[in-house]
Amino acid sequence: MIDTIQIRPLQLDDADHLQNMQTGIEDDYVVRIFDRLIESDEHALYGLFTEGQLVSVAGYSVFKDQYAMLGRLRSDQRFLGNGYATTLIESIVDYLQKDDQIKWIGANTQLHNFPALRVLEKLRIPKLQLLHAATLFNRELLTTPEGETWKPLNTLEEKRKWINPLIQDSDAIFPLEAYYPFPTSEALFSDEDINDWFMFENESRDRFVIVKFDQKRHQYAHVIYLWDDLFDQPGLWNTLDETLVDFKETFGDETYIRLDVPDETYEKIPNKDAFEFQDPWILHGYWK
């Protein structure tokens, strides 16, 4: 019997199809926010149907009009082993390849999400960087060097002196949001965004740090620091502590420092008990 496959964008009246999938995911956020995903201009959600039954779901989100991040891959466990997830993702990638507005295609997948990793490997989407998502919950357990707080950068010109060279670094990965790091380009650094960021430089003017608000499961003071001496720099954590106080006054007490750190920085954390870590994330992707 020939397997009849249909791949199409999901619609609001596909909600029952999604809820009837046996994915093994308890309290799936895709189910909870299904309406928002379907109605959003920044998100897309596709389904693969066989004989009229939804057996695989995946989609993408567009950032800064040119970055497409694949994700939200779910498969019905009763239909595993048929290559449906790979077929679906491949179809989405083919669509994005033809979209001239999209310049970069990628995915950010947890280290032990083996089904998603196998799909990306089959499609030969290269690995770029592994990052540890760390949320600081026990500051008192973290011993860091004392020192003068870093100089705040208040003008766009001061901030651009650090940002513009970063844009030219072809190897730089910039965590635009929690869970969404991207290779750098001018699109990530609009004047409007930069003006909203808190930026500081050290006394010797060879290091800088960005702190910006983000909200996912928690509210975050999202810290972006691009060197592996995060826990050795005098005054850096005094600066972050003071900035967190300001963030809490603005956004509420349930606001936490969050970092996305590569392996070399992760290994230098003085006391990992100070943080809550997720399974590490692997960024994949390529420029078209």
CATH number at residue 217: 3.40.630
- What pLDDT does 21 receive? 96
Same domain, 71 and 211: no
Indicate which CATH number applies to the domain containing 75: 3.40.630.30
Q: Which of 125, 160, 185 is the last residue of a domain?
A: 125
In a domain, 288, yes or no: no
- What pLDDT does 222 receive? 98
In a domain, 206, yes or no: yes
Q: What are 190-225's pLDDT values in tens digits?
A: 999 999 999 999 999 999 999 999 998 899 999 999
Same domain, 232 and 273: yes
Instruction: Say yes or no to pLDDT of 106 above 80.
Output: yes
Q: Which of 125, 151, 173 is the last residue of a domain?
A: 125
Contact 92/128 with Cβ under 8 angstroms?
no
Report the C-alpha gap between 20 and 53 in whole angstroms: 9
User: Which is nearest to 49 in space by CA: 23, 69, 21?
Assistant: 21
**Amino acid residing at 125:** I
Same domain, 70 and 197: no
State both tokens at 69.
């991040």
- What pTM was estimated for this model as a whole? 0.91
In a domain, 287, yes or no: no
Same domain, 159 and 69: no
Instruction: Say yes or no to pLDDT of 2 above 60.
Output: no
Q: What are 7-66's pLDDT values in tens digits?
A: 999 999 999 999 999 999 988 999 999 999 999 999 999 999 999 999 999 999 999 999
Average pLDDT over residues 138-147: 95
In a domain, 73, yes or no: yes
Same domain, 117 and 140: no
- What pLDDT does 1 receive? 45
In a domain, 67, yes or no: yes
Share the mean pLDDT of the chain. Answer: 95
Same domain, 105 and 178: no
Same domain, 93 and 137: no
In a domain, 99, yes or no: yes
Q: Which of 66, 98, 125 is the last residue of a domain?
A: 125
Provide the domain count of the chain. Answer: 2
In a domain, 109, yes or no: yes
Domain range for residue 65? 5-125
Tell me how many helices (H) and strands (E) the chain has: 9, 15
In a domain, 264, yes or no: yes
Residues sharing a CB contact under 8 Å with residue 261, sequence separation 6 or more, in sequence order? 131, 132, 134, 230, 269
